[in-house]
Amino acid sequence: MKMNRTLLVALVTTLPATLQSTAQPSGTAPFNHLEKADAMIGMVIIDSRNQHVGKVNDLAIDWQAERMAEVIVDTGGFLTSKQRIVAVPAEFFTAADSSGELCMNADIDAFDSAPEFDITAWKESTSAASVADVYERFHAHSYPNMGYMLQAGKIMGLPIRNQRNQRLAKVESLVVDLPSGRVPEVIIASAGFLRTKGELTAVPPEAFYFEPEYNALILDTSKEALRNAPHFKPEDWRNAVNDSMSLSAIDDSLKVLHSLTTDETVATPTPTVVTQARDGEMQADAIIASEIQRKMLATDGLSLDARRVRVLARKGYVTLRGLADSEQEKRQLGSIAASVVPADHVDNQIEVRVFAAATIP
């Protein structure tokens, strides 16, 4: 189910009174407490006894789930004379206090005995088995079927290109909602040629896909659309991200999909509620998207653009976005998706690339 952000306020007003009591004020997005990833990295962490336990080394971001899965904690000699790095489930962290310290509510014994996280072997340390082990060790709720885990510290500064390989912007930061771990927005800084005077734009993470070959994020929009999208000054980021109307205008300008569902519009759900409500659905959608992508990659003769088509699965409905070299190729990709879900569950938004006619001397 696709939902425009401007519907959030209307939805909240129709909720039962028991749920409305935790709703955000009219005109704001349903967030608990927002922090920027670049500000979180390096923050000092205190435990429930108000004792320092370390600082944030990095954040493990599950891009497909739009979620911070783990906080990578550097003990930095706070607990022992030896520096250790440990992964802790994101749900155990709450908002920074007035002193700028992050609060960790995890079991201290589990934290003290946790195995060391090898930051130099990121892929292995954030594998599905490793993440499952961390969540079990800390008695956290089981983590849903996860996607590709990215390192927040390396996401910041990544170039952002469109499907035509035009440089659009770079990643300024990620917005993290604590303690749910949601990553509702990516803050991007437009490239200088767009003349946005150092201002920023907030774009939902599902509008991008990560392209390992170019170490870049791909955003399916144009220079003109990004130039005309609403922007905000760096110091106004919190107000901008909490302004549903402004975010909706950005979505409309960039023509991006946003996947907020009714489950997520309940204003301040606990991690337990979010996990129980979404685990089965997210796993099913992840399996659908993965199977469609696998079939696309196994199909001979598809163009490079076609192999990069983005597959979005929500509640069993699939949206295809990207470029194809011909109408036939677009239909072929739609047929591949329809082999996994019913044909009427496929929204084929793929655009056909227009090739310039050859000039004959």
Nearest alpha carbon to residue 340 among 361, 318, 307, 314: 318
Residues 48 and 117 in one domain: yes
Does 34 fall in a domain? no
Residue 352's SS3 state is strand
Q: Which of 104, 124, 151 is the last residue of a domain?
A: 151
Q: What's the number of domains the chain is made of?
A: 3
Residues 249 and 186 in one domain: yes
Q: Is the dihedral of CA 265, 267, 271, 276 positive or negative?
A: negative
DSSP type of residue 210: E
Residues 324 and 179 in one domain: no
The parent domain of residue 217 ranges over 7-29+156-262
pLDDT tens-digit map of 118-159: 999 999 999 888 999 999 999 987 776 666 789 999 999 999
Q: Which of 151, 178, 208 is the last residue of a domain?
A: 151
Q: What's the rounded Cα separation, in Å, for the pair 213 and 166?
A: 15
3-class secondary structure per residue, 133-174: HHHHHCCCCCCCCCCCEEEHHHHCCCEEECCCCCEEEEEEEE
Of residues 212 and 111, more confidence is placed in 111
Looking at this protein, which amino acid is placed at residue 48? S
Average pLDDT over residues 246-274: 45
pLDDT tens-digit map of 288-311: 887 898 888 888 888 877 877 878
Instruction: Report pTM.
Output: 0.65
DSSP type of residue 26: T
Residue 320 sits in a domain of what CATH number? 3.30.1340
Residues 46 and 121 in one domain: yes
Does 209 fall in a domain? yes
